Amino acid sequence: MTVIVRFAPSPTGLLHIGNIRMALVNWLYARKSSGHVILRLDDTDQERSTDAFANAIQEDLKWLGLSWDQLEKQSNRLADYDAAFQRLKSDGRVYPCFETSEDLEYKRRRAMRSGKPPIYDRASLKLSEDQIEGKLAAGEAPHWRFKLNHSEIAFDDLVRGHVSFDGNNLSDPVLVRADGTYLYMMPSTVDDIDMAVSHVIRGEDHVTNSAIQIQLFEALGAEAPAFAHLSLLTDVAGGGLSKRLGSMSLQQMRRDGIEPMSINSLLAHLGTSDDIAPCHQLQELIDSFDISHFGRAAAKFDPDRLWSLNASLLHETPYDAVGERLKGLELSQANEAFWDAIRPNLRRLEDARIWHAVCFSDICPSIADNDREFMATAKSLLPGEPWDDTTWATWTGAVKEETGRKGKSLFLPLRLALTGLDHGPELKQLLPLIGREFTQNRLSGNPS
């Protein structure tokens, strides 16, 4: 059997961290099995769906490296949904309902006050043909519900194990709104049938939907796919993601300087017991992927962990993999020696600008008044060029011998004078990049 999965976002907003995780897990599952990936834009919400969001979703997935084999839009498939609805109608599996939203809310509250589950009471099934005709003649527009069979619905979930529902405890779902538009449930099922989707991988908030859709598959004469429901993301304390984190879009992360493989490296194993380490290629994640490693415990998303992975990834990245991007930042002198010197201190690639300025541009040295004599001595002991990675040790050894300073009192004032900062890359690597002329000027307190 060919594995066919689908990632089906609604183009009503930008992809956020939860969407991305589902996209990645679907992609990895398919690629691990040499399968087929469908990107399906669920754009039937005509008021909120936009081409701009649809394009942004595709660009975000491309940036992550998550290619697809087939692109579909639900807005192009309305005739197929109409045909499926007519089949269900002919078979007596849908029925018209005329309750308003206020009516339904009243029923829900009354059921809950009575200690009953807030499921639809099927009152509309009791309407006679004459009553229905009368309501239609009076201009009342019905919504249409799918009539569930009140029997056990069971399936074996690839993550949750055996899952079982009693159909008596489920509400007949609304398939068509009063304005004639379709809700999510039926179009998704029709698409999965027509596109031969073999595995539906999504969040655990869809478990009940899957039970309902199993009966929809059967009513439409098809076999249901396999299901896998992943635990939802929480914050580090185990609570629901705050609005700030829940709305953390991929575009925002890109602007902040997060690398695509940092995101992929984290999300591929979040919710498993696998080690989470920076990976430089998607193939590494494909090779290690196993959906059975996902558990039912909450998957905790920690932005700090993502930033830590981002830093680790950059620290391991060779110059050949980043040279063109440095040129794109207009860092004209960012050669391999520069990259090797600064990468252990980067949190994001953009931080390279700071060290490029330190090495090759004018900066304001930081020299305390009581260190000026010390700087003059250090300047007088500067060795001649050429400089290499032994120059720093040779020079500071001579300064230590002459001044008696050592440790922090020796190294920190020199770092502040040479870089204007109290932290950063090893000066044995930076010093040859800064060069003798800049070093002399900065030890004198001159911007250079």
Query: Per-residue pLDDT averaged across 292-318, rounded?
Result: 96
CB atoms within 10 A of CB 60: 22
Asked if the model's pLDDT at residue 136 lies above 80, the reply is yes
Does the residue 137 lie in any domain? Answer: yes
The string of pLDDT tens digits covering residues 357-394 is 999 999 999 999 999 999 999 999 999 999 999 999 99
pLDDT digits (tens, 9 = 90+) for 169-182: 999 999 999 999 99
Tokens of 312: 């680790």
Is the CB of residue 193 less than 8 Å from the CB of residue 217? Answer: yes
Q: What is the pLDDT of residue 242?
A: 57
Region 190-219: what's the mean pLDDT? Answer: 97
Q: Are residues 167 and 97 in the same domain?
A: yes
Any idea what the CATH number is for the domain that residue 427 is in? 1.10.10.350
Specify the pLDDT at position 116: 85
For residue 234, pLDDT beyond 80: yes
Q: What is the mean pLDDT of residues 400-411?
A: 96
Residue tagged 């002991």 (tokens): 381
Residues of the domain holding 155: 92-176
72, part of any domain? no
Domain C-terminal end among 360, 385, 414:
360
Where among 339, 360, 381 does a domain terminate? 360
My answer on whether 428 and 411 are in the same domain is: yes
pLDDT band at 233 (very low <50, low <70, confident <90, very high): very high
| Calpha distance 315→309 (Å, rounded) | 10
Are 235 and 300 in contact by the 8 Å Cβ rule? The answer is: yes
pLDDT of residue 117: 86
Domain contains 15 = no
Q: Answer yes or no: do 349 and 397 share one domain.
A: no
> Does the bond joining 386 to the residue before it have cis omega, within 30 degrees of 0?
yes
Mean pLDDT of 131-149: 96
Q: Is residue 351 part of a domain?
A: yes
342 and 395 fall within a common domain: no
pLDDT in tens, 324-357: 999 999 999 999 999 999 999 999 999 999 999 9
Count, residues in the chain: 448
pLDDT at res. 248: 81
Question: Tokens 């090495």 appear where?
Answer: 359
pLDDT at 245 over 70: no
**Alpha helix (H) residue ranges in 220-302:** 243-246, 250-256, 260-267, 282-288
- With beta carbons less than 8 A apart as the criterion, state whether 384 and 432 touch: no
**Domain end marker among 176, 201, 217:** 176
Number of domains in the chain: 3
Q: Work out the pLDDT band at 430, boundaries 50, 70, 90.
A: very high
**Cα–Cα distance, 162 to 298 (Å, whole number):** 19
The rounded distance, in Å, linking the Cα atoms of 43 and 373 is: 71
Task: Note whether 330 and 393 are same-domain residues.
Answer: no
Both 396 and 425 in one domain: the answer is: yes
Question: Is there a domain that residue 395 lies in?
Answer: yes
What is the average pLDDT value for the chain, to the nearest integer? Answer: 95
What pLDDT does 246 receive?
47
What is the phi/psi pair of residue 36, to 5°?
-120, 135
Based on the domain organization, do 100 and 159 belong to the same domain?
yes
CATH number of the domain residue 126 falls in: 3.90.800.10
In our burial notation (b when 16+ CB lie closer than 10 A, e otherwise), range 163-193 reads bebeeeebbbbbbbebeeebbbbbbbbbbbb
Residue 124, in any domain of the structure: yes
Nearest CA to 195 out of 285, 72, 317 is that of 72
Residue 211 falls within a domain, yes or no?
no
The span from the CA of 176 to the CA of 3, in Å, is 31
Q: Are residues 347 and 403 both part of a single domain?
A: no
In a domain, 80, yes or no: no
Mean pLDDT of all residues in 135-145: 96
Please determine, for residue 315, whether its predicted confidence score (pLDDT) is greater than 70.
yes
pLDDT at 309 over 50: yes
Q: Are the C-beta atoms of 159 and 230 separated by less than 8 Å?
A: yes
Q: How far apart are CA 28 and CA 157, in angstroms?
A: 18
pLDDT at 244 over 70: no
